[in-house]
Amino acid sequence: MTELEVKMSVNSVTRLTRGTEMRERLLALARDGVPDDEIAAILTHEGHRSPHCTDKVLAITVGRIRRAAAIKVATQRNRWEHDEALLSPPELARTLKIPVNWLYVQIRSKRLLIDRQPSGAYLFPNTPSILDAVRDPRNHVIAQLDLRICQPNKEGHQHGGSSCKGAIN
């Protein structure tokens, strides 16, 4: 005889075998000010899971339960925490007074080439040369801006030519 354990998807935390225990633990951690993503990691480590996920507790599940219990987050966490010398697309858009959506469209359409960070964020160096360079496609001076750093032993951005180090084409 072989035993097989199948974790079924359920429609609520209360339907989970240890749902009540998970909810109580979650709310205790939330009251202590622990951020949702950390609570999710702790509960996963303790063997809990989200109703629609068989192997872990999702931060969205934590947030939903926390909000239903009227527990506010003490400090908001930024998904894309980064060095102050870098700008996220919304920060860059505010600095340049342009729509943030324009930046994302340029990235998606490959008119603005930039490496994605390991976190998944697009980050722009907050330097006058980069700010001026991003203005150029916006003002239709150039068709494509390449801010990628493709050569691991060299740093910086170059303007012009076909160099992969930050060419403006």
Question: According to the model, what pLDDT value does residue 75 have?
Answer: 63
Question: How far, in Å, CA of 104 to CA of 94, rounded?
Answer: 14
Range of 117's domain? Answer: 86-146
pLDDT score at 162: 36
Q: Do the domain assignments include residue 165?
A: no
Asked, for residue 7, whether it belongs to a domain, the answer is no
Contacts of 136 (CB under 8 A, 6+ apart): 142, 145, 168
H-type alpha helices, the chain:
19-31, 36-45, 59-68, 89-96, 100-108, 128-138
Task: Flag whether 157 is in a domain.
Answer: no
Q: Which of 14-28, 69-83, 97-111, 137-151 has the lowest mean pLDDT?
A: 69-83
Same domain assignment for residues 138 and 90:
yes
Query: Average of pLDDT values for 2-6?
Result: 79
Residue 79 lies in a domain: no
94 & 139 share domain: yes
CATH number, domain containing residue 97: 1.10.1660
In a domain, 75, yes or no: no
**3-state secondary structure labels for all residues of 148-162:** CCCCCCCCCCCCCCC
pLDDT band at 80 (very low <50, low <70, confident <90, very high): low
Answer yes or no: do 140 and 91 share one domain: yes
Cβ atoms 125, 132 nearer than 8 A: no
Q: Which residue has the higher pLDDT, 102 or 13?
A: 102
Q: pTM of the prediction?
A: 0.47
Residue 169 domain-assigned? no
Number of domains within the chain: 2
Residue 166 lies inside a defined structural domain of this protein: no
In angstroms, the CA 123 to CA 39 distance is 28
From CA 107, how far away is CA 169, in angstroms rounded?
15
Q: Is residue 24 part of a domain?
A: yes
